[in-house]
Amino acid sequence: MENTALAHHLLLAGLLFVLGLTGVLVRRNLLVVYMCLELMLAAATLALVAFSRFNRTMDGAVLVFFVITVAAAEVAVGLALIVALFRKRGTVQSDALTTLRD
């Protein structure tokens, strides 16, 4: 690996995070919003691994291990919630879910 500085990895992580955030704000399909949330998590783990590598410590990498574990559990519960929502309301478009507003 030649001359890939920490800043380049952080740049990639930041841009990925921004893309995920934009997706969360713009998309109306709950499943896609959820995938964008996962993208933001992945961007954060990328920054953690980069810092860990450039500081020569293992702690950031271990934290990424836990992040992946928690994200897997979170995805399972979140998807179950979305399925339960779909069963009750028949839609996963966040525009159509206005019970609390009306």
Partner 1 sequence: MPDGLFIFFAALTLGAALLLVLSRNAVTSAMGMILALVGVAADFFLLDAYFLGVLQVLVYAGAVMVLFLFIIMLLDTEDPQGAYPWKTAALGLAVFFLLAASVLWLFHWSGAVSTVKAGATPPELSTNPAEFVTAAKAFGRLLYSKYLLPLEIAGFLLLVALVGVVSLSKDNPEDQA
Map the footprint of partner 1 across residues 14-73, applying CB under 8 A.
14-23, 25-29, 31-32, 34-36, 38-39, 42-43, 45-46, 49-50, 52-59, 61-62, 64-66, 68-73
The answer to whether the beta carbons of residues 91 and 97 sit under 8 Å apart is: yes
Residue nearer to partner 1 on the CB measure, 95 or 101 = 95
83: contact with partner 1 by CB under 8 A: yes
Q: Which of 72, 81, 83 is nearest to 42 (CA)?
A: 72
User: Under DSSP, is residue 90 helix (H, G, I), strand (E, B) or coil?
Assistant: coil
Q: Which of 50, 9, 16, 65 is nearest to 36 (CA)?
A: 16
CA separation for the pair 51, 9 (Å, rounded): 9
100: contact with partner 1 by CB under 8 A: no
97: contact with partner 1 by CB under 8 A: no
Residue nearer to partner 1 on the CB measure, 72 or 101 = 72
